[in-house]
Structure 1
């Protein structure tokens, strides 16, 4: 039998847990696991499996026993070797203001056309390109500091954010394929607690004050711009997926096998040409070193816990099998090791954070807003065609949904977090369908399209990665 995991005991998470959303209803046969990890349940599962199962002592063939490089770091030591906060100089801030004026006044074109050419930064560009290289070949994250968001309007802040980001990753990814019920490439997301502004139940932790467990977003680079910070809590936490991989490979190689197998994920979103509501792919992907020596061996991590356990009003459906005990242990192992090796970036108002989304995963402490101080982040998914890593074959379809066919004309940058519009054709008729939500009904259950009644299409709106999607 395998030996127990070599995992230094730590106390249950002490980070703020404001506004904990009730757990999603588990499907039949699901292991004892929910979105918010439970340390005692995890330790009991580790003990049970290591004592009763014949667990593999070998990692999958071809996978590395150990990853090396700047991407392997721990929160306790990374600050001693790497200064991740870059503060703009006065000259660079003037550069940004000049670019804003050029885009707004000289060009006066749609925001979808924001680029290095239309938002020129001659005094800042080279430094931003150096930082993009750090994302891809260095420690995998950095923070830009020095912007005074109160000096600008909401629209100006968005233009500045997209403009600066175009010098780091010139390709913006699609976070939603619909806006106000119409086809659009929504490339800007809002991360904010919206529970006080609506009665509807929430299906994504991004729209609550809950602690958000370790996960990745979609795409190569995930960026967040802090328009406002919480009155208490809300720290952004990052962890090296490579450091976590090394620990698991050394202590529990069977879990590397589990993570490298296909998992069935619940898809809660509708994007362009989506038909399947289930995704089957591994959580980790091995990329051998190139024969010319230019590209090192890599392991890519891509997952979000809620796709396997649900969250709030969006449970994992009964149409797919429950996850296994091994998968439940693997999910908890990723999270608790992420916490153990994590660093807080001390996210402040006006900061812009950039993260290599395939090598560094992230989490957020729970938080508390007040009337005068509220946490509000803007989000971009980016890709740098010069430095981008090769996309694993198993992720190519997902990457195509994010980056494929995004056009300047359809790019949309919402000024505020999306709000459900309800059934516009016939609200009264919509309210009778209990598997759709109604703005006047607090007891809805989120679901999918329910068909037609008297020729009228009936739709539900569900909360997914960016707001409320028609599915």
Structure 2
């Protein structure tokens, strides 16, 4: 087992006080930026391009391109995250909004499938799923999601409507949490470099078991890579009587890890507002959300609604070989990660299109 002997540190090992002293992780849109976006949308329509046909060069943004390039560099090799704020979502219908989000995201990376139905754009909205739906993820519920990562280089979220209460987005630097764990409990750190087994929640690639094992921390070619599991997916492993179980030491290590993630010094709390876009590099930034409640429909309060994209970086990092157990393809320069499927990729405009048929 390869692991660093000392804290990793570096620009990606940030804490909340450090982040709050800078604003280079936010791209705020002004009216001139929105005008560039609207012109790019018109250009794609004039050329007859469907949303999935839009490449980066098909969505030219003039001056905004430079700012998006700086944001992409921050996501790829800086803090590991970036925000775009100020898109006037109320101006656009659903197709136009997704067209804009797709076009902006193409300046970050390449869209990949998010589920076994081939969705390349997903809707994060409550459809009534619960922890008892073991063949589904918990993103389409109101449940709290502990710190975790998605199966892609970068995950993007666009806020359409916020919750009436709760639904707060929170992120941490995986490297900063790793280093703090090394300082506090060096005896437990090696436990998180061992495989932790998780439920695939019904998304089982051909020839694979309905669960998989992945270390939370990896040190490969002198570089840190994290893969943080949703704890409910670990706990639901009990439904497989022949599946591997965690050791007591691993459970203790996970408890300490999650506790550090929740501490104010490490946990950056962000309140999504309509028009906000969040882009996170999953290998070094872990994210969560608090439990939330939508207002009764009689009050006219819309459901919390985020639109999600999973992106592959063609110039992304070299990943440790064991990540192929979950990602299947990890090769740099390809569209890697995502959920393998033999279905044609689609973009559902309706948020209540079933994600898991």
Task: Name the TM tier (shorter chain).
Answer: 0.7 to 0.9
**Contact 1:308 1:323 (8 Å CA) reproduced:** no
Q: Does 1:356 align with 2:281?
A: yes
**Contact 1:209 1:368 (8 Å CA) reproduced:** yes
Question: What does the per-residue CA deviation read over 1:355-383, in whole Å, with 9 as the maximum and x for residues that have no partner?
Answer: 11110101111111113132101111112
2:326 — aligned with what? 398
Q: 1:126 to 1:273 in 2, by over 3 A?
A: farther
**Contact 1:241 1:301 (8 Å CA) reproduced:** no
- Select the residue among 36, 39, 44 that pairs with 1:103: 44
Where do residues 4-403 of structure 1 align in structure 2 (5 Å cutoff)? 62-104=3-45, 106-169=46-109, 171-178=110-117, 185-195=118-128, 202-203=133-134, 204-270=137-203, 273=206, 275-289=208-222, 297-310=223-236, 316-340=239-263, 341-370=266-295, 371=297, 372-386=301-315, 388-400=316-328, 403=336
**Contact 2:160 2:306 (8 Å CA) reproduced:** yes
**Contact 1:86 1:145 (8 Å CA) reproduced:** yes
Q: Distance in 1 between matches of 2:294 and 2:113?
A: 29
Post-superposition offset of 1:96: 0.7
Q: TM-score, normalised by structure 2?
A: 0.87
Question: What does the per-residue CA deviation read over 1:250-309, in whole Å, with 9 as the maximum and x for residues that have no partner?
Answer: 1212322111112222211336635432212322110234xxxxxxx4343343323311
Which deviates further from its counterpart, 156-165 or 60-69? 60-69
Greater RCO, 1 or 2 (C-alpha within 8 Å, sep 6+): 2
2:332 — aligned with what? none
Question: What does the per-residue CA deviation read over 1:212-265, in whole Å, with 9 as the maximum and x for residues that have no partner?
Answer: 111111111111110110111111000111111001111212322111112222
Question: Which of 1 and 2 has greater Rg?
Answer: 1
Post-superposition offset of 1:83: 4.5
Q: Distance in 2 between matches of 1:69 and 1:191?
A: 33
Aligned with 1:344: secondary structure?
Answer: strand
1:293 — aligned with what? none
Alignment: residue pair count: 342
Post-superposition offset of 1:201: 5.7
**Contact 1:267 1:277 (8 Å CA) reproduced:** yes
**Contact 1:174 1:403 (8 Å CA) reproduced:** no
Unaligned runs of 5+ in 2: 330-334
**Contact 1:112 1:410 (8 Å CA) reproduced:** no
Aligned with 2:57: secondary structure?
Answer: coil
Q: Distance in 2 between matches of 1:111 and 1:274?
A: 33
Q: Does 1:416 align with 2:345?
A: no
**Contact 2:155 2:281 (8 Å CA) reproduced:** yes
Unaligned runs of 5+ in 1: 1-59, 179-184, 290-296, 421-466
Q: 1:212 to 1:200 in 2, by over 3 A?
A: closer
Q: Distance in 1 between matches of 2:121 and 2:238?
A: 26
Q: 1:189 to 1:253 in 2, by over 3 A?
A: same
Q: Distance in 1 between matches of 2:131 and 2:227?
A: 33
Q: 1:299 to 1:400 in 2, by over 3 A?
A: closer
Q: Distance in 2 between matches of 1:257 and 1:118?
A: 47
Which deviates further from its counterpart, 260-269 or 60-69? 60-69
